[in-house]
Amino acid sequence: MDVDKAVIARLKRTDKNFEILVDGDKAIQFNEENSPISIDDVLVTNNIFNDVKKGTHASEADMKKLFNTADKKEVAKIIVKEGDVQITTEHKNKIMDEKRKRIIDIIHRNAIDSKTGLPHPIQRIENAMNEAKVNISYIKSAEAQVQDVLKLLRPLIPIKFEMRELSVKIQPQHLGGAFRILKSYGKLLKENYQNDGSLLAILEIPAGIQEELVDKLNNLTHGQAIVEIIKKTGG
């Protein structure tokens, strides 16, 4: 990346600023869960500065004292993960909007109403987030923010994360399509084929998507799929 197009990532420790030049988009992607982006992809230069514009470099002594390492790449990782990436407000808003939608989707698919056992509609989750005045970080991944968001939502709506183990029985003529659906919705724990050729499977899924899974199986099997809850975990 051209240095002229780089942005500054900044982190303050005690009374000292630490700054690096980065590719803004890749710096944001670096913080995503299971990101394929490495710190080498993010960095435009390997230098650690106290002030990029003045060209003043951070000392090894300060890095050792405040980061417990003088390894520039390790320090850069901390700056990108914990600091502020100086991208435009428009860019920040776009990223935060995308992460907000992702957080809502995660909660919708994984959480349930603790009173009814049913998933919360997306609009209800969104309304509760607005009421709780949830602030979304553009730096942290959506996944890393979910638990903090849930803490703010719990006083407003009855909500909990729950995993379920389901017993699913599929007739032989529907096995091909049903097997693909099961694999795409959860983790297959057991597969037992019965004497009549039907499949009896044990599937682990987030509670919030059970209804969607059952609908898919019923559409495929014309209502012949048998789905039963055998275990619930979480809270």
CATH of the domain at 63: 3.30.1250.10
Residue-wise pLDDT tens digits, 147-164: 999 999 999 999 998 899
**Of 157, 181, 197, which closes a domain?**
157
One domain for residues 140 and 104: yes
One domain for residues 198 and 219: yes
Rg (CA), the chain: 24
Q: Which domain holds residue 126?
A: 89-157
What is the C-alpha separation between 65 and 133, in angstroms, rounded? Answer: 37
One domain for residues 118 and 130: yes
Q: What is the pLDDT of residue 1?
A: 63
Count of domains in the chain?
3
Do the bridges between strand 16-22 and strand 7-13 make them parallel or antiparallel, or are there none, so unpaired? Answer: antiparallel
**Of 110, 133, 157, which closes a domain?**
157
**Contact by Cβ (8 Å): 186, 213:** yes
Q: Give the mean model confidence (pLDDT) for residues 90-112.
A: 92
One domain for residues 170 and 151: no
Q: Give the mean model confidence (pLDDT) for residues 8-23.
A: 95
Confidence band for 233, pLDDT divided at 50, 70 and 90 = confident
